[in-house]
Chain A
Amino acid sequence: MAIIETEKLTYTYPGAEKTSIENISIKIEEGEFVLLTGPSGCGKTTLCRCFNGLIPHFYEGKLEGKIQVVGLDVVKHPIHELAKHVGLVFQNPENQLFALSVEKDVAFGLENLGIPRKEIRQRVDWALKTTDIYHLRERPPYELSGGQQQRVAIASVLAMQPEVMVLDEPTSFLDPLGAKRIFEDIHKLNKELGITIILVEHRLDLTAKYANRIIIMDNGKVILNGKPREILDSEKARLIGIGIPKVTRLYQFLNGKGMRLNYVPLSSEEMAKKLKEVFKQ
């Protein structure tokens, strides 16, 4: 069974005239790495809020259609119950860390669930080590760099041992190296722990290579949903105006001039490797 399944999901914020998402029907399988992208205001964030029940429990508004996550009907289960299965990481690290020490922040969710202290300690230490910030455990989060803060946010979600992790533009405020590290961490969580990842991101050049699926939204609707190489090479993706990686554009340019590589590269490493093969023949 799919780990996330929506059927004709439509939602309107309270007081809004227009729907924010419309007729979303998607299925995400366990262990997938899904990249969710599209122009600003296309409804990506709204969809993320449905995955852990912020919609309809925190934001009221009007929700129609069906949504099931880890076999639970989102409408019928409170956020704190869904939180055990779906972790959300937000864009601004500053506004999702509350405590005055890193470890206390990572423990926050577990404390809320009333987990015994000994187990909290174990899970906190595990999450800190997995995200490679164990050495920062006693530091106040606001003294850390943006990248470190975002890793704290990821650790604090990870400590709850969710099956699904949803990350909404987690690297917007980070510098390139900080962003790269975060993406590598997310990739690791997916590969090694088998956590299903939904990553909302504009920077496809840094992330497309990790994904096994890309979903593109525009105007509240899902426009494209499929394998990264096919999606990024499609005419439709170009027209919506998402940031197609430059190596993919280079591939398209060469293709158009008759140099057929027969392989859509998603990263510079892939492109360089392919070209080397061709030149060495």
Chain B
Amino acid sequence: MSMFEGLKFRKVSSPIHDLDPRVKFFYVIAMFAVAVMYMELLPLIVLFLIQVPLVTMAKVTKQWIKSMRGAAFFASIIFFTNFIFSYLYQGQQALPSILEYSMAMTLRFIVLVESFSIFFLTTSPDHLGLALEKSHVPYEFCFAFTTAVRFVPVLAEEAQTIMDAQKARGLELEKGNILKRVRNYIPILIPLIVNAIRRSLELAEAMESRAWGATKNRTNLYELKLRRGDYILALLTVVMLVLAVYARWHIPIPRIMEIFPWKASR
């Protein structure tokens, strides 16, 4: 749950929040591509660090740390699986390089989470929906998207209440063999589904009552306009991409252990 917590949007006004979601999305994709290009620790550290100013500029440090903490569990899984498998494969001699490799793989994941959480923490889902609309995605889909985001916390809470209500009637979820355990979830799933259906009917009624589908030329309270900040971010992203591609093919990237040969002194 805590990882989702970090993805929850909170409206703050900051230069990063004001950026156009489309440009921010371009940045996230570019970040993703660059992170996947490199397997070395050094450039990934650079990628990690250059994003930190964005976080502070967006004033979302606290939530960002929260989502990073949420990612820590997966990060440690990635680290240990990489470490164990490489170790089994390459043996003890290569320990430092295995360590560096595993750390690089972990950091790659962290960089991805970092850029995605910057995106989600600074982009209101309303703006995101609008960006989808502007990218010629049909309005119904955009609406479905924002509504889904809106109702995730509501449904999660409802599921918890239903579980409590059934536990109060003596339901023990962890009791019995596998088959029994699966069946234990029926008293939770049925009310959850029934309520979801009822809720969607009520939503549909409310939408209809507010002139849903009155005209094909729907307008929007918000407007997306590219501003100076957007051009700057777009430019920086392109520069980063070009540099990264160039460096990939033309500059040999040293390993950290080559720069600080702590193991070599032995």
Note whether A and B contact each other (Cβ less than 8 A). yes
A115 contacts the other chain (CB 8 A): yes
A151 contacts the other chain (CB 8 A): no
CB-CB < 8 A to B214: which residues of A? 80-81, 83, 112-114
Bound CA–CA A43/B211 (angstroms): 24
B205 contacts the other chain (CB 8 A): yes
Instruction: Looking at the assembled complex, report how far the CB atom of A147 sits from the nearest CB atom of chain B, in whole angstroms.
Output: 18
B215 contacts the other chain (CB 8 A): yes
Query: In the complex the two chains form, is B217's CB within 8 Å of A142's CB?
Result: no
Query: In the complex the two chains form, is A142's CB within 8 Å of B209's CB?
Result: no
Most buried by A among B11, B202, B210, B211: B210
Number of A-B residue pairs, CB cutoff 8 Å, is 114
CB-CB < 8 A to A141: which residues of B? 150
Query: In the complex the two chains form, is B209's CB within 8 Å of A107's CB?
Result: no
Query: In the complex the two chains form, is A112's CB within 8 Å of B211's CB?
Result: yes
Bound CA–CA A96/B147 (angstroms): 11
Report A69-95 residues with CB < 8 Å from chain B CB.
79-81, 83-84, 87-88, 90, 92, 94-95
Query: Quick one: which of B204, B210, B223 contacts A160, CB cutoff 8 A?
Result: B210
Bound CA–CA A124/B149 (angstroms): 23
CB-CB < 8 A to A94: which residues of B? 154
Query: In the complex the two chains form, is A90's CB within 8 Å of B215's CB?
Result: no
Instruction: Looking at the assembled complex, report how far the CB atom of B9 sits from the nearest CB atom of chain A, in whole angstroms.
Output: 7
CB-CB < 8 A to B11: which residues of A? 101, 138-140
B143 contacts the other chain (CB 8 A): yes
**Would A116 and B219 be within 8 Å (CB), given that A100-B126, A157-B210 are in contact?**
yes
CB-CB < 8 A to A97: which residues of B? 150
Query: In the complex the two chains form, is B203's CB within 8 Å of A98's CB?
Result: yes
Bound CA–CA A141/B154 (angstroms): 11
Report B202-258 residues with CB < 8 Å from chain A CB.
202-215, 217-223
B184 contacts the other chain (CB 8 A): no
Bound CA–CA A58/B213 (angstroms): 13
Query: In the complex the two chains form, is A104's CB within 8 Å of B211's CB?
Result: no
Query: In the complex the two chains form, is A160's CB within 8 Å of B219's CB?
Result: no
B199 contacts the other chain (CB 8 A): yes
Bound CA–CA A81/B146 (angstroms): 25
CB-CB < 8 A to B149: which residues of A? 100
> Which of under 10, 10 to 19, 20 to 34, or 35 or more describes the interface residues of A?
35 or more
Query: Quick one: which of A54, A95, A117, A142 contacts B153, CB cutoff 8 A?
Result: A142
B124 contacts the other chain (CB 8 A): yes
Query: In the complex the two chains form, is A98's CB within 8 Å of B146's CB?
Result: yes
A109 contacts the other chain (CB 8 A): yes
B125 contacts the other chain (CB 8 A): yes
Using a Cβ–Cβ cut-off of 8 Å, how many residues does chain B contribute to the interface with A? 34
A99 contacts the other chain (CB 8 A): yes
**Would A124 and B221 be within 8 Å (CB), given that A96-B203, A98-B150 are in contact?**
yes
What is the 8 Å Cβ interface bit string for chain A, positions 104-124, against chain B (1 contact, 0 not)? 100111111111110011001
Closest Cβ neighbor of A83 among chain B residues:
B211
A103 contacts the other chain (CB 8 A): yes
CB-CB < 8 A to A160: which residues of B? 210-211
What is the 8 Å Cβ interface bit string for chain B, positions 91-126, against chain A (1 contact, 0 not)? 000000000000000000000000000000000111
A52 contacts the other chain (CB 8 A): yes
A248 contacts the other chain (CB 8 A): no
CB-CB < 8 A to B147: which residues of A? 98
CB-CB < 8 A to A104: which residues of B? 126, 221-222
Closest Cβ neighbor of A139 among chain B residues:
B11
Bound CA–CA A21/B71 (angstroms): 56
Bound CA–CA A49/B219 (angstroms): 27
CB-CB < 8 A to A99: which residues of B? 126, 146, 150
CB-CB < 8 A to A113: which residues of B? 211, 214-215
**Would A115 and B219 be within 8 Å (CB), given that A58-B208, A142-B154 are in contact?**
yes
Report B10-34 residues with CB < 8 Å from chain A CB.
11
CB pairs A–B below 8 angstroms (9 shown): A83-B211, A87-B209, A88-B206, A98-B203, A108-B210, A109-B210, A113-B215, A114-B215, A142-B154
Instruction: Give the A-binding residues of B (Cβ under 8 A).
Output: 9, 11, 124-126, 143, 146-147, 149-150, 153-154, 199, 202-215, 217-223
Give the top 8 A-B pairs by smallest Cβ distance, nearest first. Answer: A80-B214, A96-B206, A109-B210, A107-B221, A80-B211, A95-B202, A83-B211, A114-B215
